[in-house]
Structures are given as C-alpha cells and as structure tokens.
Structure 1
Amino acid sequence: MMTAIQSPGSIQLGISDKISPLTKVYNALPSFYTQYSVNGAIVQYTEGNFGCFFRQELHNKDWIIGWMNIFITHPQVLCVVSALPVVTLQLNLEGSFCTKYGPLMTSPGECSLLYIPPRSKHRCYFKKGNYETVFISFSSRYLEIFMDQHPLLHTLYQNQQQHGPNTAALPFFYLPPLGLEILHKIRHCNQEGPLRQFRLQCWINELLLLYFTSIEQMNKPTAKHKADQEKRLQIVEDYIKKNYQSRITIPELSRIAGLNTTSFEKGFKKLFRRNPREHLEHYRIEQAAHLLKTTTQSVKEITYAIGFTDPNHFSQVFKKHFNCTPISFRKNGEPLHTNISNR
C-alpha cells in the first residue's frame, strides 16, 4: 500500500527546449511588476521573446499557494508541470486559455478542484495578452479533513495516493466577490510568525467552504435559488440590451450571472426560450429593423451600430429573420411574414 503523501506538490510553468536557451530566470520581480507581488512569497521570474511569466509561492507543510502571472507578447505554448501528484484548487482571475485538463476552456472567474498526475506536462495555448491564476495545492492529510464534502473528492484523494495517471476535475463555479476579497487578503497579508500561517490557513478554508457551498447550491436548486438565478439572468438580459453594440461573449455574460457557462446557457434558454447567442442576435436584428424604418443610415452604418462587424454577414442574418434583405425591408416596409418572434 502506498504511503500517504505528507507534503503538497508545486505547480510550475514549463517552456519548450527550443526556446529554453533564449530565456532568463530570476528570483525577484522587476520593479515594474512589484504591483503584483505577494507578501512573503518565494519568487521565480522567467522572461523570453514570448513575454514573461512569474510564480510566487507561499509554503506550508500541508498546502502551497502558487500565484501565477503571465504576460504574453507573442502566442506561445507553455506547459503546466507537476513533479508530484497534485490536488489543487485552481482560481482563474484573468485571461482565457486552452488547456488539456479535459480539455476545457479556463475563463476568468472560474474555480475548480483538480487532480494533476505526477511528472505530467499539460500543454496550454496562450494568445497575446495577460493572464493570472492561483493554484492552492494540498497534502493528503489536509484533504482528509474535507473528504465528506463532495463524493468526487474521494476520487481526487485516491488519485493522489495512488499516483493516478489521468487528470480529473470536480465541477467548477464562478468566484463571487467574497472569494476575490479573500485572495486580496492572502496576497497582502503582512502578519509575521505563527499567526501568519494561521491566518492564511483560515482563508484557504474559507475558499474551500465557499467552493463546496456553491457546488451544493448548484446541485440542490430551491425556490429561493431559482428566483435568485432568474433575477441574475434578467440582469444579463438588461446588460445585453444596454451593450448590444459592443462585442459580448458567453464567458462575460456567465460572469455577470455568477454561473458557470453550462448552467448559464441552460438557465438562460429555459427562461427566455433562446440561448444567449440567439437572444443577442434577435435583439440586434430588432434594433436594425427599427433603424431601417426610422433613419436614413446606410446598411453599412447600421451594421456597425448594432454590433455586427461585417455588412454581408449582417445582411444574411437579417434575411434569415425577415425573409428579405435590409434594403428590401427599407423599401417595402415590414414583410407579410417574418421569422422574428417575441418572447
């Protein structure tokens, strides 16, 4: 029988052998990145022709808090590297990137518990932009405290104990403002001595409690929960109506609703009888029809005014809804039959 792992594993970012000779590694942050510093953390800063990334870690015998910031100037593939079997709470704060955790899209605000196999290298695809994520890894002993909170946690625990070869993940949810406040406290904690470790551990426990409470609420919808979700979805619809001219993404709307993308899209369609993309398109076309009737703006001008980026695509979508082109609609008035239906 394998001995219980008494120490948590560290999660790092790795680079390919091809660009490794072109990179430099330091144990301190440059002055222009001090705004991202984590009090009392061990620092590793890496820079190269792709940009830079740095990891800041706070260590304890039962947990490691790893803060990662990534600044990409040219698209790059980086690897999530783990020497030991790791169970970690991942909290993604900025940027969306593809990874082999399923695979899945990791979007800003997402939070989940993951198991990462030992000696694994999970390729992550980063576009140009900024990224920030936090990994809180746990020892087996620490995980035992929470074993009864979620049945799948037993699976992660057993994988860690037995050095399982496959990545696994529990359901994710979007981190609420309280979670962000806790992370802010962890980053700026200036307490010294044993009390510092106690405070950090209390905040970690709060994050885990927040995670399991949110998962439980997602799995046990009540009348109050349903009403709260409908209220948040109504806020999303109001946001669409106020910002339809801008680029709107599903992850963005999910964050506003405080739901993961799957729950958000399912709940939105149930409430509005259209999925979010269809609802946005429907509203934009309604606004286009209004502008065609009441203004002298050109079709091209209307295209950009309602949030489309290509006049030809706009005309195709408009025809799908109204069975005629925008020009015909303006010339002949509203057609006898349309595919536009009210909620």
Structure 2
Amino acid sequence: MAATVLQTTDLFEFNRMPGSEGLAADGFLRFQNRKAGNVAVKNIVFPHMQIMETQWETANDIELQDVNPSEGISINFMLGGTIDTQFRGIRQELNMRPGTHNLVHAPEASHRNRLKRGQSLSMLLVSLDKAFFMSAIGQDDSWSERILNELHHERPFSGISGTSTITPQMRHLIDDIRSCKALGPMRNLLIQSRVLELVALEIEQFKTPVLALEAIPADEVEKLHQLKRYLDANFLSDHSLAQLSRYCLLNEFKVKKGFKQLFNTTVFNYLRKLRMEHAAQLLRNYALSVDEVADRLGYEHAQHFSIAFKKYAGLTPSQYLQGKAPVRPLAYA
C-alpha cells in the first residue's frame, strides 16, 4: 500500500477531536484525521526559541513533506516511535529512533519524513533563532568553527552524521520541561533555562570525539536500543546479564561488547547511573528522607546508598539536600 502523502501544514487542518475546544488542561491541542491519525501538539514560544511537544498516533504509512525553508536551528529529541528524514542538501538520512536526538539547519525547502503506521510517536522539538544560536556557541573549537562556517554560508547541515543518544541527564531535563508546574514568569524562566541546559549537553556530546569503532550489524543495533529502552523503564528491578540477553535475543558477549560500544558505558554502569539520577530527582522534588530514598532504590543500608550517590554526584545525599554547590557527576564508564 502506497504511503499517504501529507504536507506539514496538513497536521493543523485536521478536525478537532470531540470535546477538545480550546486548549486541554495539559496544554495540548488535539486533532484527528482518518488518513493520518490523531495528533496532539503543545507549543511554547519565547523571543529566541520555540518548544513544540508532539504526540501522534499514525493511522497509515505516511510521507510527510515540508516545503517551507527554515532559518532557525531545529533540535529533535525522539522519545517514542521512528521517523526517517531526508533533508535537501544533507547527504545522509537522519533515522530517528526512540532515545535519539540531533541538530539540523535546513535553509532549503523540500525535506521528507517517512513514518510507519500504527506508531505512537512522541517528540520534543526545539527551534532556536540562528543569530542567538551563533552567539551562544562561541568559536573555541573545531565543531563550533564548522557550524558557524556552515551558517555563514547558509548551507544545510546536521550536528553530527546520524543521530546521538539521549542521556539520562538529558532525559530528566526533558521531563522537567514537559511537566513544569510553575506559573507566570517563574515558569518561563525555568523552561528556558532547562532548554538551554539541554542544548548545552547536546553540543557537549557532539564535540566529544568518537573513536572509530567496529561496525555493529543493524539488527543488533536495534536490539541493543530495545534493551536500553527496557532498562530505562525497569531500572529499579534486579537484572542479570543472562536475563537481559534473553530479553534482547543476543548472547551475553554481544550484549556486553555491543552496549559498551554503542552507548559508551557498560550495562550495569548505565543502570547505576539511571538509579542515581532517579535518586537525585527524589531528593530534589519530594519530601523524602535519605533512608526513604535508599529504601526505594532497594538498598538494605542507607550508608551503602550514600556511598554510591557520592561516587555519582560528588556529594552525599545529605549535602545534596542542603543545596551544597553541585559537583560534576562522575561518569560511569
């Protein structure tokens, strides 16, 4: 069956879903269309940036065409579903998978997005004003010099070849942006600060040199990404390498080697990082004691949790609760 061809403007010409007059309590506008499915969009606009959260239940295979040039910098954080995009002027396709992100400048029109039917797409798109972005990144390294040169000559580019992985630290910032409960000026300032921190983490990741690695077969890459998504959702459970190998249908050697190569950390160090990020959120956002947080993370003794947390954050949980100056988290490698 041929894909349904839509223009991006078509997404906002759907019938409004019954009972969705005006903005919903969660801030989303909801639409439905028999060809494309159900779409929900939340849009926040500031002077130098726009933040759009999109949720899309696709009804058919879709080719989404965008004929409008963009002067800004587009950053897409893919949280669920898959999109394969070909930008005019950028040689390689950007195949977005859950838990990935990239940065694109596409001043030329006519790029195409391919989406499979029956998906639950979820993404956060950040658009930055070009002049603001150029002034923010500076020119003190080869990556920034390359980007500024491309922008000066109005050439399309992507931040890196392909996509990069959303880290747990990025994911927590995304969650903060999506669920911000503050009101008025405080909300505006918090959201903008989280977005800028998110972009800074992304650029730092792009600037980090990547060593040439032995290619991992595409089917194994997909299984390792599936395993990572499973860990993201089940990081508080106990896991063994044998159980995880059965889950993703790869042998233990391929899980150990492939996960380290693809995500630059071991499976169990990644789990520890997720748990410590979760602990930091519990300490920061909930009125829980150190003992209660340790118990939620499955530690028999709070002291063992405190040691693990200090290794991650550079602060004990008590110091963290007291608002001591944060120390850069130690990488679990």
TM-score, scaled to structure 2: 0.54
Q: For structure 2, which runs of at least 5 residues remain unmatched after alignment?
A: 213-223, 229-238, 267-333
Look up the equivalent residue of 2:243 and give its one-letter code. K
TM-fit CA distance, 1:89 = 1.8
Alpha-carbon distance between aligned partners in 2 of 1:48 and 1:149, rounded to the nearest angstrom? 50
Q: Is the aligned partner of 1:106 residue 2:96?
A: yes
- Contact 1:80–1:124 (Cα < 8 Å) also in 2: no
1:124 aligns with 2:114: yes
| Deviation per residue, 1:198-245 (Å, 9 max, x gap) | 211210121122223333445489xxxxxxxxxx9xx98x87632444
CA distance in 2, matches of 1:100, 1:167: 12
Matched AA of 1:125? L
Please state if 1:58 is matched with 2:44.
Answer: yes
Q: Assess if the C-alpha contact under 8 Å between 2:82 and 2:115 holds in 1.
A: no
User: How many residues were matched structurally?
Assistant: 226
> Are the equivalent residues in 1 in contact too, given 2:71–2:105 (CA < 8 A)?
yes
Deviations 1:247-289 (A, max 9, x none): 559xxx79x94x7xxx529999xxxxxxxxxxxxxxxxxxxxx
Change (3 A) 1:200 1:76: same
Residue 6 of structure 2 aligns to a residue whose secondary structure is coil
Conserved 8 A contact 1:140-1:161: no
**CA spacing shift, 1:95–1:29, aligned 2, 3 Å:** farther
Q: How much has 1:73 moved relative to structure 2?
A: 2.6
Relative to structure 1, the CA distance from residue 131 to residue 29 in structure 2 (aligned partners, 3 Å threshold; closer, same or farther) is: farther
Rg larger in structure:
1
Q: Distance in 1 between matches of 2:69 and 2:137?
A: 24
- 1:88 aligns with 74
Q: Which has the higher contact order (CA 8 A, sep 6+)?
A: 1
* Structure 2 CA distance for partners of 1:265 and 1:27, relative to 1, 3 Å: closer
> When the two structures are superposed, what TM-score results if normalisation uses the length of structure 1?
0.53
Runs (5+) with no aligned partner, structure 1:
1-13, 222-231, 269-343
Equivalent position amino acid for 1:137 in 2? S
Asked if residue 136 in structure 1 is aligned to residue 126 in structure 2, the reply is yes
Q: CA deviation at 1:78?
A: 1.8
Equivalences for residues 1-343 of structure 1 within 5 A? 16=6, 24-26=14-16, 30=20, 37=26, 39=27, 43=29, 45-80=31-66, 82-101=68-87, 102-143=92-133, 144-148=135-139, 151-160=142-151, 162-164=153-155, 166-170=156-160, 172-219=163-210, 241-246=242-247, 248=249, 257=259, 263-264=261-262
Q: Is the 8 A contact 1:111 1:175 kept in 2?
A: yes
The CA RMSD over aligned residues, in Å, is 4.2
In 1: Cα distance, 2:182 partner to 2:18 partner: 21
Conserved 8 A contact 1:98-1:126 = no
% identical aligned pairs: 11
What is the CA–CA distance in structure 1 between the aligned matches of 2:196 and 2:124, rounded to whole Å? Answer: 15
